[in-house]
Structure 1
Amino acid sequence: MNLKNVLTAAAAILIFSSAAGAAQTPTRMNQFNAWGTYSYSGSDGKICYVLSTPTKMTPATVDHGDIFFLVSQKPGQGVSYEPQVVMGYALKEGSKVTVDVDGKDYSMFVKGESAWMENAAEEPQLVANLRSGRVMTVEATSQRGTETSYTYSLSGVTAALNSINECK
């Protein structure tokens, strides 16, 4: 496991520890190009997710911290393919995060360092576009007002999502 994967897994542990309360340490299941797959057992059953880090971060002059885009499966909670962005900094309260997949935009609401789909009914469409897309960009505004942008490769996202399809 290279340093990037170790850092990704460590950050993923922090993400789900804070998001799920007393979540257990995630197990790294596989790597599909730019996307890793992870799972852990929560209080409501097993949770699986795919996770990637940006290939490009702007502006280059600021400390972004650890940035992640993930899609989780939570069968015990009736959640299927829930996209989430996790930033390494506090997001501007009341702002929106914009996710662009090959020219199609989606809006996410902000809470702390994370963002989720503003319209949950659009989650399946975003996931379908991730599967068929080439590049995703995420734009956000930090609590300090800094406009940030992140570019992600979608190479491997379909195989990663397929691998967690039967999360139980």
Structure 2
Amino acid sequence: MLHGKRVLAAAVAVGALMTGSVAAQAQTPQRIGQFNDWGAISYQSGGAKVCYVVSVPLTKQPSNVNHGDNFFVVTQRGGQNVTFEPQFIAGYTLQENSKVTVTVDGAPFSFFSKDNTAWTENAAQDPALVAAMRAGSRMVVQATSRRGTNTTYEYSLSGVTAALNAIQNCQ
């Protein structure tokens, strides 16, 4: 249950991050539900509804560095033709031009990074990654900080299917 409370706090924090850039147009994030290790959230932005699922890592390596708050998010934007867009949000600046690797039960996906966020290198891979997340049990994210520290995060995929189903028809 402690992890679920951390996910709920993460969902609110991510909502603040996501709505902060469009604060004048956005409303307060609304919780759709908590599904084991994944939370589902929605908010209004520019007249459109945005929904996302979010989780926080179970483990962070190396253990002797400050990782900040790290999240894995999958976004669904009503009216914008964005369907299940995965992204990793780090609690620090990622190394410029570095790749982030997201591995789901052994299947790797390559992400590009900008500042503290990373997205799939090829948006055509998004459906395959989301399908792997739905079928998988464990996801590992490997990234490099601006300082050159190699980091690894392990996420549980328990509840991700129910959370994604909850935002499937985000309008």
TM over 0.5: yes
Q: Is the 8 A contact 1:93 1:143 kept in 2?
A: yes
For 1:14 and 1:68, the matched residues in 2 are separated by: 13
Q: Is the 8 A contact 1:32 1:160 kept in 2?
A: yes
For 1:118 and 1:60, the matched residues in 2 are separated by: 28
Query: Where do residues 49-128 of structure 1 align in structure 2 (5 Å cutoff)?
Result: 49-128=52-131
For 1:9 and 1:121, the matched residues in 2 are separated by: 26
Matched residue, 1:4 = 6
Matched residue, 2:22 = 21
Any idea what SS the aligned residue of 2:128 has?
helix
C-alpha offsets along residues 98-150 of structure 1, whole Å, 9 cap, x if unaligned?
A: 00001110011101110011000000000000000010000000000000000
For 1:154 and 1:136, the matched residues in 2 are separated by: 7
Any idea what SS the aligned residue of 1:131 has?
helix
- Given the alignment, which residue of 45, 50, 59 partners 2:48? 45
For 1:109 and 1:152, the matched residues in 2 are separated by: 19
Unaligned 5+ runs, structure 2: none
Unaligned 5+ runs, structure 1: none
Q: Is the 8 A contact 1:130 1:157 kept in 2?
A: yes
Q: What letter matches 1:14 in structure 2?
A: A
Relative distance call for 1:5 and 1:103 in structure 2 (3 A) is closer
What is the TM-score normalised by the length of structure 2? 0.92
Any idea what SS the aligned residue of 2:131 has?
helix
What is the TM-score normalised by the length of structure 1? 0.94
- Given the alignment, which residue of 133, 136, 141 partners 2:139? 136
Cα RMSD, aligned residues only? 1.6
For 1:6 and 1:105, the matched residues in 2 are separated by: 27
Give the deviation of 1:28 after TM superposition: 1.2
Give the deviation of 1:12 after TM superposition: 1.2
Q: Which runs of 4+ in 1 moved over 6 A?
A: none
